[in-house]
Structure 1
Amino acid sequence: MKSSVEDGKHTSVPSEKRWSEPKRKHITCRPDPLAADPNKQSTIAVSQLCSDIVNVQETFELQVLSQLLVRGPNAAFYKTLIEPNIGAGFAPVTGYDSQTKDTVFAVGLQGVSSSDFDKFLELYDKTLSDVVDHGFDKEHVEGVLHGIELNIKHQSADFGLGLLFGIMPLWNHDGDLVKALRVEEQVATLRRNMKENPRYLQEKAEALKDGTHRLILTMSPEDNYDTKLAETEEKLLRSKLATLSPADKENVYRDGIKLREQQEKQEDISCLPTLHMSDLKKEIDITPMTELEFSSIPVQVCVQPTNGMTYLRVIINTSELSDELKELLPLFCQVVTKMGTKKHSFRELDQLAKLKTGGLSVSSHIADDTMEHFCFEDGVLFATYCLDRNIKDMFGLWAEIFNEVSLMDLKRFETLVRMCAAGLANTVADMGHHYAISSAGSLVSPSGQRKETASGLSYVGRMKEIAQLADLSPVLDKMNKISKLILNKTHMRCALNFSPENQENILKQMECFINSVPGIPHVPLVKTRDVEFYLTKKPTRSLHHVHQIPINFAAKSISTVYYCHSHFASLRVMARLLTSKYLHPQIREKGGAYGSGLSLSPSGVLNFYSYRDPSSTATFDVFDKSNEWIRENKFSEQDIEEAKLGVFQSVDAPIPPGSKGMNRFLHGIDDLLLQMHRTALMTVTRDDILEVSELYLGEKSESMCARALVGPENPALQDRKSENWSLAKC
C-alpha cells in the first residue's frame, strides 16, 4: 500500500521536449484490396505538437482553428488537398486531438501516390501561408461557433458519459474542469480576442506554420508485408523462448493452468451492489403526442422541453424504385445535400447549413413491421435540428433541396464518390462484426437483404467499383433519376419535436414547407412484403469475405419471430443470458477474441458475432453449442435476473426530448406496444428460455440459418460441408 501511495506522487506527465526541426519517417503496410486505384494506396500525415492540455482557452481556440482548416468543403485544406484529386480523402488522423498532455493537430491524406508526397508537403505549407495572409471568411467562423452553440443546447442520450469522457483527459493532468465546462465563456473570450485583434486566428495559424515540433509520417503498401510480419513475429517469439529456463517454462505452464481454473471458477458476486427487477418501474412513462395533417401529409408532433431547439424528421418511401436505383440509393443519400442547388453552390449551401442548422442528414431507413414477419418499410430519412430562431431558414434549406437540388457538377460528384469509397474501405477492420452480421442476416431476412445493399460489404464493394469508373456521368444521371422519383410528397410523413414557446410559428413553417414540396400525397406509409421469401425453405448458406487482415469477424444469423410475437421477449432475455454467461467466457476469455455476443434485431433475427477473433471454426462451434449450454440448465435464477436487467439497460436508456416519440415514428412501436413488451420481459421464466432455445437453436429447428466470416483465407471452412461455404466477392 505504501509503495502505491509513493508511486502516486510521481504520476504527473511532463511536457514533451520540443524538437528544433521537423522529423520524417516511413512505414509499410499491407495492400488494400478495397482501394479504388491500386496505384494510389499510400498515406501521408503531418502532425504538429500544440498547446498543453491544461491551457483550456488555447485548446478550445485550436479546436475552432482545426474545424476551419479541415472540416467541410469551405475548409482551407479541403480546397487544396481534396478537390484537386491528389488523394481519396483525409486520413482518419486528420484534426485536432486534445486528449493527450501535449495536444496535436494533424492533416493526413489517404489514397495518394507515393510520388505525390512532396507535392502534399508543398500544399500543406502553402495552405497555411495563404491562411496567414488572407484569414478566414467571417461566415465560416460564425458557422463553426454556431455549431458549438448547438452542441451546448442539443441533448443526447449519453450526455453524462460524453461529458465525463470529454473532461477525463484534462482531469488526469490536474486541469481546471470548471473552466473547461464553461464553453460559453470560452466562446465569448474568443470573440473578444478576434474583435481586439482582427488577425487573431491568423496568428494561431502562423504558429502552426512556423512550428518545428512536426512529424511527417508516410506509409506505403508492400506486397510481402504479411510474410515479413510473420517472420518478424516468429523471430521475436523464438528470442523470447530462448531466454526462458526450464523453470521459467514450467512457471508459464502453471500460470496458464491457474488462469484456466480462474476462468472456469464460479464467481461470488453477492457482495457487489446490484439492482433487482423489483427496483424497476412496472409502467412506462407515456409520451404525449398529437397527429396533425397539412395538405394530407401526416405530421407527428411531440412537444417537449427541447431547450429552444426544433427537431425535424421526414420519411419518404422508396419501395417503388427499381432494384438498380435502390442499389445506388445510399450514394444518393451521401451526395444530395452536398452538391448544391440552383440558388447556392455546394460551398454556399454547406455554409448556410452550418450557420442555421445542426446539419442536413439523409440516410436509408429500413424498419421492420412489428406485427408481420418479412414485412418492412423501405425509405429514406431526412433529419435535422436547429435553434428556434432559425426555424424559417432551416425549412427554407430543405425546401430548396426538394425543389432545386442541382446534381450536375461532375467534378464535385467525383470528389464525393472518391471520399465515400475511401472512408468505407477504412471501416472493415473496425466494423467487421457489423459487416459479418449484415452479410449473414441478408441470407435469412428480406429486410436484411436491403440493409446489406444499403450498408453492408456489398455496398462497400459497389462503391469501390463506382470509384474506379473512368466516367461517372451515367451514375450521376441515375442520381438525377432518383431525385425526381423521391424528392416529392407522394409517400411522405413527418415528425416534429419542439418546445411549447414557439409552437405556432413552427407549425406554420412546417405547413409552408409541405406546401412547397412537389407531388400529390398518396399513401404516406407503404410496407414491402416478401411472401415468397417466407414461404420458400432455403438451405443453410455461408459466405466467406476474404480480406487481408490478420483477424476474423464471425457471425451466425437465425430467423425467429416479429416484435409482437409472444416469443420475442423470451428470445431477448435468452440472448443476453448467452452473451454474458456462455459466449463471453468461451470466445472472449478463453478464445482470445476482443468481444462476442448474441443480439436480437427488430426483425427477429438472432445474430451471434465475434469481434477481432483469432479463431474462426472454433467460434462457430461455440455458436452451435449454445442450445446445449441452455439445455444443461445450469444457470441460476440470479443469472436470469441479471440477463433481464441487462435487457432493461437498453429498454430504459434515457431518451432525450428531441428523440421522444421516435420509436413510434420510425419503427411503429407506440407506448402500448412498449408497455406490452416491458411486461413480457419482466415475466420471462426459465421454462420460457428453455422453450425458445430448443425451438430456434435446437437441432430440429426449422428456422433459416446462415453464417458469415470476414477475415483472411481459411481452407478449414471447406471441411464444414453442411454449412455450404462460398467465397463472397470483395
Structure 2
Amino acid sequence: MGSTKKFNIDRQGLKQGDTIGNYTVTAIEPLEEIDSTLFQLVHGPTGARHVHIGNHDRENTFGVAFRTVPADSTGVAHILEHTVLCGSEKYGVRDPFFSMLKRGLSTFMNAFTASDWTMYPFSTQNRKDFYNLMDVYLDAAFFPKLDSLSFKQEGHRLEVKPTQTPGEPKELIYKGVVYNEMKGAMSSPNQIMGRSLVAALYPDTTYSNNSGGEPREIPTLTHEALRAFHARFYHPSNAFFYTYGDLPLADHLSIIEDKVLARFTRIDPDSTVSAQPRWDRQTTANARYPLAGDENPSNKFQACVAWLTADVKDSFEILVLSVLEQILLGNAASPLRKALIDSNLGSALSDGSGFDPDMRDTMFACGLKDVAGDAAPKVEQLIFETLGQLVEKGVDRTMVASAIHQIEFHKKEITNTPYPFGIKLLLSFTGPWIHEGDVLSCLNFDHDLERLNREMAIDGFFEGRIRRYFLDNPHRVLFTLVPDQEMEKTEEEQTRKELAATLAALAPENLARIEKDAATLAHLQDAREDLSVLPTLEISDIPPDIEAIKPDQVEGVTRSTAYNKPTSGILYFSCPTGLGALPERLFPLVPFFCQAFTGAGTALRDYAEMAERMDLYTGGIGLTPVSGTGFGQVGECLPFVTLQGKALDRNVSKLFEIITEFVSKYKFTDHTRLKNLLVQYKSSLEGSIVASGHSYAISLAARTLSIASHLAEMWHGIHQYHYIKGLCERLEDPAKEKELFTDLERDLSTMADLLFKRENLRPAIVGTPSSLIVADRLIAAMVDALPVNHGDQLLPPHIPLDKGLPFEGWITSTQVSFVAQAFTTVRMGHADAPALAVIAKMLRSLYLHREIREKGGAYGGFATYSTQEGTFSFGSYRDPNIRRTIKVYQDACGFILGGDYTEDDIKEAILQVCAEIDKPETPGPAAIKAFYRDVLMLTDERRKQFKSALLLLDKPRIQACAERYFKTAETSKGTAVISGKDPLMAANENLAPGLPEFEIHRI
C-alpha cells in the first residue's frame, strides 16, 4: 500500500463518542498489520451503520450492503440486484450502471447477491470518479425506478418465439437475464451441490431458499413482489455502508447523509436471520444434477457429510474452525483429505467441502466426488473413523502450527487478487457484520490468536473441538448428489408443456399484450439515449504516464533480478524456465507435470511430508505454464514454466530449502500418488467447463490463430481435458494402467531433466533488502548445483500449427450456450493496436450488451482484444441463443464500420482501456508483472507509446482501423460453441446462408 514504514495511525481528529453530523463514532481502532485505522459509526435518525478503513491507499472503495432475506426461491433478491441498476430517480437512463463502467476509471464495479445480503461495491483511484460513482450507486440503490419493463428484461418475461416458416403455430418462450443466468448456474454440479447442501442443513431459515432463483420458480415472481422487497429491505435502517482508502471520512458521511439518509426515518425492516433450530439426530438428503447421456453414471455421484457448527458472531470459534479446516483438509498431508483421497472411493473432495463462515450459523462439509451410487455410507464411515482416530491419538502439533501459519500468512499478505484489497477486506467481515458480529475481530484477529495459543497449551484442545463439532454433533446431513441423464430433457419438456398450457389459456388480448410488451422493450433497447445526465471523466482526467517498475541494485544481490519493495514482510520468488528444448510429444503433459512436480514428493520425502513443510513455512510453491508471444523483432512464441514461491521474511531460508529439494531431488516413482493427482486434475477440469464455458469456447475458436493460442488451448482448454481424460481411460485396464505410470514416470523425469539446468533459470525476487540478500545467496547455491547443459531454452517450440479454422459445436450438460468467435489482427507495437483495444470496448458497451444481454437474454456478451497475441474475440456467457448470437457477431463488424457512434462513445472506450492499463497492484505482484514484461521484451517505451496513442484517438482513426480489420470474411474466423446437444442440433438446422454446419464433438 505504498509506504515502507508503519502508517502513523490517523484518527482524523476523532475519538469514540464524537459526532459527525447525525453520526456517532462508536469505535476507533488501529489495524497495524495493514497500516490502517478502523472507524465504526451509526447514523442516529435511521440506524444506518458505517465502517470506514482509513489509510494511505489511493485505490478508494465504497460499498453499501443490505440484509436481504428471501422467503422463497423466486430469485427476488437477485432480480432486484439487477433491476435497481436499470435507472433511478436522478439518473433516469435505461442502464446507468453499465454506462458508468465506461465513463470513469474504476478498478472494480459490480453487485453481489449472497444468501442473506446484497451488496453494491466499487473501487477507483480517481477522486472525481469516486464521488461520481458514489452518487450513481446511492441513487440506484435507494431510489430506483423499478419499472415493469426493466423487471421483464432482467428477471423474466414471456415472449412469442420467432417463427421460421409462414403458418408455423405460435410458441411461448421464457426470457430474462437472471432466468438464463440461473439456468446456466443450476446446470453445474458445483452450484447444485452447494445450494442443495445449504437447503438440507438449514431447512427452517431463509437459507432453505435459493436467493439466486430456481429456474422453475423465477417465472412466478411478480413485479409487485419485487417492489415490496425493495421497500422493505433497501432502507437505511437495514443498510451497511463501507468506505476505504485515503479520502476523508467526513466527506463520505456528508454526501451519504445529504443524498440519502436525510430523506428517511427509522423503520424496523424485520430482517434479522434467526438461528437454525438444532437437531437431535442426523438426517440424509440428496439432489440430482444433469449428466450427458453418453457418460457412464455409475461413478458420477458425490457423497459428503455436512455439519452445522458455530454462530458467525463467535469470532474465537470461527478462528478455531478455520484452523481445523486447514488441519483436516488444507493440504495433501491433511489427515481427513488424505484418508478420503487415498481410499480410492472417489477422485477428489466433493464440491462444497470446507468451512463456510458467512451464514448466520456456520457450516463444515467434506466428502468425495466421482463415487459409486452406494458409496455414501462408506464415505461417512471413513470420515468418522478418521476423525475418531485423531481424537484418540491426538492432533499432530506440527499440523496445528502449519494451519496457524497459513492463516497468519494470508491475513498478512496484501494483494488485489481476485478483488481490490479494500473490497477483499469488506468481504472478509460482511457475514459477521450483517449479523451484528464484531467487525474488529475479523480484521484484527491477534486477540483471538493469543487466546487460541493459551488454550492450545492444554492437552486435548483440538481433539475436544473435533468431538464437539463433528463426532458428537447431531446436526448433520449425509448428502448424495445423484447424476440424472434424463434431467435436462425432462426439465425442458416440463417447461415446454407449461408454456403450451399457458398459451392455450391466454385470452387474445393477453397474448397481444405480451407481443406489445416485447415490441416496446425491443424499441427501448434500440433507442439511443442521452447519457449526458450521468457524470463522467474527461480525457484530461487520465494520467498520461504508465507505472514503470525497474529492478533495483541491492548490495549483496548478484544472481537474481531484485526489486526492493515494501511487501508487508513477505519475500516473493519467481523463476521462468524455458520449454524450447521440450519434444513435441511432451507438450500436452506440461500442465500435469506442473502439478506433479510439487505434488508427488521428492527423492528425500514423500508428497505428504512435502505438503506439510510447504504449509508450515511458505505461502505456497507452484509451477505454472505460460504460452506467451514475445515482443522481440520476430515476435515468436516463447513458452515457459514459471516456478514461484513466497514466504514470510523469517522463513526465507526454509522456502529455498524446499524449492532446492524440488529442483534437485525430483522423483516420480510414487505411482499411487500420480494416479490420485491425475484423477483429481481430471475432476477439476471437468467441473470448470460449465462454470467457465465462455473462456473454453474462446480458446477453442482461437486455437489455430497462433502457436501461443494453440498452446493455450492444449494446456488450458478442452483439448487439455481430452488429453487428461484419455490418460485416465487407461486406468480402467490393469495392464494399461501399469504401462501408463511407467510412461509417466519416464516422461515427467525427462521433462524435469530438460528444464532444470543452470542456464535455463532466470530468478527474480521481491522484498526488503535483508530478505533479498538471504534469498539471492540461497538461489545462487541452488542454481550452481544444477547440471550445465542446453543453455537458455526460452526459445520458440518446434510445434506445427493447424492452419484450418474451426466451426465447431461441443456438447456438454448445460441448458445454456457459450458462443465464441475469433480472428487475427495486429499486436501491441502496431499503430492500429490502440484503436483495436478501443473498438473492443465500444462493441461490448454500445452493441453486444444490447443485442446479446438485453435483447437475447444472455448473462453477458463481450468483445476482447489481446495486445499480446493480436487476436480479436467475441464471446457470450449463459446464452439461450446460438444462431442469433453468431448473426450478432457478423453484424458487429457492420456496426463498427457503419460509424453509428460519437466522439463521446470513443472517449468512454478510451477511459475503459486506460482503467485497465492503470489498474493498481500491490508492490510484490506489481514487481513480478514488470519482471515478466522484461522476459517477454515488452518495453515500458512500447507501453507508453500505446497509451499516448490511445489518448489521441478520434472517430476518423477508429473508422479507418475498422475498415482494415472488420471486413474479415467469415471463413477467416474461428467459431466454437459449447452447449447442450439439442440446442446445437437445432442451430445446425437453422444457420444463416453461407455458413457451414457445425462440426459436432462431445466434451
TM range (shorter): over 0.9
- Give the match for residue 15 of structure 1: 275
- The structural deviation recorded for 1:227 is 2.6
Structure 1 residue 621 displacement after superposition: 0.8
Is the alpha carbon distance of 1:374 and 1:615 closer, same or farther for their aligned partners in structure 2, counting shifts above 3 Å?
A: farther
C-alpha deviation, 1:268, in angstroms: 3.7
Higher relative contact order (CA closer than 8 Å, sequence separation 6+): 1
In structure 1, which of residues 708, 711, 721 is the aligned counterpart of residue 979 of structure 2? 711
Q: Note if contact 2:896-2:962 (Cα within 8 Å) is conserved in structure 1.
A: yes
2:806: which partner in 1? 541
Contact 1:540/1:723, CA 8 A, preserved across alignment: no
- Is 1:398 the counterpart of 2:663? The answer is no
1:174 aligned to 2:436? yes
Unaligned runs of 5+ in 1: none
What displacement does 1:724 show? 6.2
Shift of 1:243: 7.0
3-state DSSP of counterpart to 2:758: coil
1:281 matched residue in structure 2:
543
Change (3 A) 1:199 1:366: same
Q: Could you report, residue by residue, the CA deviation over 1:611-668 in whole angstroms, capped at 9, with x for unpaired residues?
A: 1111111111111111211123221222111111111221111121112333443243
Q: Equivalences for 1:277-676 in 2 at 5 Å? A: 277-290=539-552, 299-371=560-632, 375-470=636-731, 471=737, 472-473=740-741, 474-520=743-789, 522-523=791-792, 525-528=794-797, 538=803, 540-601=805-866, 602-667=868-933, 668=936, 669-676=938-945
Instruction: In structure 2, list runs of 5 or more residues that go unmatched.
Output: 1-142, 144-227, 236-265, 732-736
Distance 1:203 1:251, change over 3 A: farther
Q: Is the 8 A contact 1:77 1:124 kept in 2?
A: yes
How far off is 1:240 after superposition? 5.5
Q: Following superposition of structure 1 onto structure 2, how do residues 243-258 of structure 1 map, counting pairs within 5 Å?
A: 249-258=511-520
SS of 1:367's equivalent in the other structure is coil
Q: Distance in 1 between matches of 2:744 and 2:547?
A: 48
Q: Which residue does 1:189 correspond to in 2?
A: 451
> TM-score, normalized by length of structure 1?
0.93
Structure 1 window deviating more from structure 2 (514-523 vs 149-158): it is 514-523
Cα drift, residue 352 of structure 1: 0.9
Distance 1:186 1:273, change over 3 A: farther
| 1:599 partner letter | T
Greater mean alpha carbon deviation, residues 69-78 or residues 367-376: 367-376
Alpha-carbon deviations, 1:86-135, whole Å to 9, x = none?
00111121011112112111113110001222111211222222222223
In structure 2, relative to structure 1, the CA distance for the partners of 1:7 and 1:692 (3 Å cut) is farther
Q: Following the alignment from structure 1 to structure 2, what is the Cα–Cα distance between the partners of residues 725 and 312?
A: 46
**8 Å contact kept, 1:429–1:549:** yes
Partner of 1:96: 355
What SS does the corresponding residue of 1:562 show, helix, strand or coil? coil
Are 2:1000 and 1:727 equivalent residues in the alignment? yes
Distance in 1 (CA, whole Å) between partners of 2:501 and 2:362 is 37
Deviations along 1:47-105, whole A, 9 cap, x unmatched? 21112222222222212111211221222221221112100111121011112112111
Q: Which deviations, in whole Å up to 9, do the C-alpha atoms of 1:443-499 show, x marking residues without a partner?
A: 212110011111110001111111121313222321122122212223221211111
Q: 2:331 aligns with which of 69, 72, 87?
A: 72
Aligned AA (2:939):
D
CA RMSD of aligned residues (A): 2.6
What is the rounded CA distance, in whole Å, between the counterparts of 2:364 and 2:686 in structure 1? 24
Residues 374 and 447, structure 1, Cα contact 8 Å, conserved in 2: no
| C-alpha separation in 2, matches of 1:688 and 1:484 | 51
Cα 1:56–1:293 change in 2 (3 A) is: closer
* Aligned-partner Cα distance in 2 for 1:368–1:699: 23
How far is 1:723 from its partner?
4.5
In 1: Cα distance, 2:556 partner to 2:693 partner:
44
How far off is 1:298 after superposition? 6.5
Please tell me whether the aligned partners of residues 374 and 446 of structure 1 are also in contact (alpha carbons under 8 angstroms).
no
Kept in 2, the 8 Å contact 1:543–1:725? The answer is: yes
Once the two structures are superposed, what CA deviation does each residue of 1:378-411 show, in whole Å capped at 9, x if it has no partner?
A: 1111111111221111111111111111210011
Find 1:108's aligned residue among 367, 375, 397: 367
1:695 and 2:964 matched: yes
Choose 485-494 or 311-320, whichever is displaced more.
Answer: 485-494
TM-score (structure 2 length as normaliser): 0.69
Give the Å deviation of 1:241.
Answer: 5.6
Give the 3 Å change call, closer, same or farther, for CA 681–632 of structure 1 in structure 2: same
Cα displacement (A) at 1:347: 1.1
Q: Is the 8 A contact 2:859 2:878 kept in 1?
A: yes
The answer (yes or no) to whether the contact 2:302–2:369 under 8 Å persists in 1 is yes
Inter-partner Cα distance in structure 1 for 2:293 and 2:540: 53
Shift of 1:700: 6.1
Establish whether residue 123 from structure 1 lines up as the match of residue 382 from structure 2. yes
SS of corresponding position for 2:299 = coil
- Describe the shift of the 1:520–1:33 C-alpha distance in structure 2 as closer, same or farther (beyond 3 A): farther
Question: Secondary structure at 1:673's aligned position in 2?
Answer: helix
Give the Cα separation in 2 of the matches to 1:539 and 1:74: 46
Paired residues of 1:302 and 1:660 also in contact (CA < 8 A)? no
Work out the CA distance in 2 between the residues paired with 1:491 and 1:526: 11
Structure 2: how far apart are the matches of 1:490 and 1:94? 43
Listed one character per residue, the Cα deviations across residues 313-343 of structure 1 (whole Å, up to 9, x for unaligned) are 1111112211211111111001111111122
Amino acid at match of 1:217: F
- Amino-acid identity (%): 25
Inter-partner Cα distance in structure 2 for 1:251 and 1:154: 57
Task: Work out whether 1:211 is the aligned partner of 2:461.
Answer: no
Paired with 1:79 and 1:539, the residues of 2 have a C-alpha distance of 45
How far does residue 242 in structure 1 lie from its aligned partner after superposition? 6.9
Q: How far off its partner does 1:230 sit?
A: 2.1
Which range moves more in the overlay, 299-308 or 425-434?
Answer: 299-308
CA distance in 1, matches of 2:601, 2:782: 19
Q: Cα–Cα, structure 1 residues 425 and 285, in superposed 2: closer, same or farther, change >3 Å?
A: closer
Q: CA deviation at 1:670?
A: 3.1
Between 609-618 and 272-281, the greater mean CA deviation after superposition = 272-281
CA distance in 1, matches of 2:823, 2:695: 16
Rate the CA distance shift 1:433–1:687 in 2: closer, same or farther, 3 A.
Answer: same
- What is the letter of the counterpart of residue 876 of structure 2? S
Q: Which amino acid aligns with 1:306?
A: T
Q: Which amino acid aligns with 1:310?
A: L
- Equivalent position amino acid for 2:988 in 1: L
Greater mean deviation of Cα atoms: 609-618 or 218-227: 218-227
Secondary structure of the equivalent of 2:531? coil
Structure 1: distance between partners of 2:574 and 2:972: 35
What is the alpha-carbon distance in structure 2 between the residues aligned to residue 61 and residue 430 of structure 1?
Answer: 32
Offset of residue 178 of structure 1? 1.6
Shift of 1:524: 6.0
The 1:677/1:124 distance shift into structure 2, 3 A limit, reads same
From 659, 677, 682, give the equivalent of 2:946. Answer: 677
When residues 303 and 662 of structure 1 are mapped into structure 2, their CA distance, relative to the original with a 3 A threshold, is same
